[in-house]
Amino acid sequence: MPILSGGQVMPGDGIRQPFLKAGALAANDFAGNCVVGSLAINTTGGVLYICTATNGTTTATWVTVGSQV
């Protein structure tokens, strides 16, 4: 089995696996890593968010799409 060495571990983009954060998301959370359509979960409150806009580096806009009752 080959062994990988060196290189850079790339952060997730929230598409294949959602971002997780304890507490509510704020504007620009995960900016630079997320793309439009990325998902994020508030693990404390059980709230699901989707990224609706980002410039790819410094800004990200998140909208609540679901929450526990």
Structural domain boundaries of the chain? 19-67
- In tens, the pLDDT along 45-55 reads 999 999 999 99
Six token digits for residue 37: 């359509």
- H helix runs in the chain, sequence order: none
Q: Is 65 left (phi over 0), alpha (psi -120 to 50) or beta?
A: alpha
- In tens, the pLDDT along 5-46 reads 665 555 667 888 899 999 999 999 999 999 999 999 999 999
